[in-house]
């Protein structure tokens, strides 16, 4: 099972590119990487999941915990590039009504904090 996340952190913006499968085996690595993200008030965190081929409930739990951390620090989390399969997973669990999901590409400037 393969998984990789690349994180590019700038002043008030964090870009994360996730690749591979997020499951019980790889979720601890994702959690560790996301814990290292410094979120301050006004930080926009954009996670690109376009290259994620699979995610289970363990991966969802890590995303939810990260979302709570970002919002607790008055930042904003946006997920982009979800496949139909991942979009359905977020829809079924009700998370698409909680976490901001962009269908295509990056968040436009008017939506940034």
pLDDT band at residue 104 under the 50/70/90 scheme: low
pLDDT band at residue 110 under the 50/70/90 scheme: very low
Q: Does 41 reside within a domain?
A: yes
pTM passes above 0.95? no
Average pLDDT over residues 28-40: 94
Which CA distances in Å does 44 have to 37, 79, 85, 101?
Answer: 11, 11, 25, 13
- Size of the chain, expressed as the number of residues it contains: 113
pLDDT at 108: 44
Q: Tell me how many domains the chain contains.
A: 1
What is the longest distance spanned by two Cα atoms in the chain? 38
pLDDT of 105 > 60? The answer is no
d(CA 29, CA 39): 19
pLDDT band at residue 1 under the 50/70/90 scheme: low
Q: Does 94 reside within a domain?
A: yes
Tokens matching residue 52 = 């994620």
Q: Does 113 reside within a domain?
A: no
Edge-to-edge strand ranges of the sheet holding 13-22: 3-9, 13-22, 44-55, 76-80, 100-102
State the CATH number of the domain containing residue 61.
Answer: 3.30.750.24
| 105 compared with 49, residue with greater pLDDT | 49
Q: Does 33 reside within a domain?
A: yes
Model pLDDT for residues 53-101, shown as the tens digit of each residue: 999 999 999 999 999 999 999 999 999 999 999 999 999 999 999 999 9
pLDDT at 88: 96
Q: Does 83 reside within a domain?
A: yes
Average pLDDT over residues 29-34: 96
d(CA 15, CA 6): 8
Domain encompassing residue 91: 3-7+16-108
CB 21 within 8 A of CB 55: yes
Q: Does 92 reside within a domain?
A: yes
Q: Does 86 reside within a domain?
A: yes
């Amino acid at each position: 099972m393969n998984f990789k996340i690349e994180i590019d952190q700038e002043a008030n913006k964090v870009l994360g590119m996730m690749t591979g499968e997020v499951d019980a085996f790889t979720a601890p690595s994702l959690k560790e990487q996301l814990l290292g993200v410094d979120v301050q008030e006004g930080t926009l965190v954009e996670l690109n999941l376009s290259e994620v081929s699979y995610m289970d409930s363990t991966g969802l739990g890590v995303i939810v915990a990260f979302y709570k951390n970002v919002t607790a620090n008055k930042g904003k989390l946006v997920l982009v590039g979800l496949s139909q399969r991942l979009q359905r997973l977020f829809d079924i669990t009700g998370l698409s009504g909680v976490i901001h999901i962009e269908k295509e590409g990056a968040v436009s400037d008017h939506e940034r904090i």
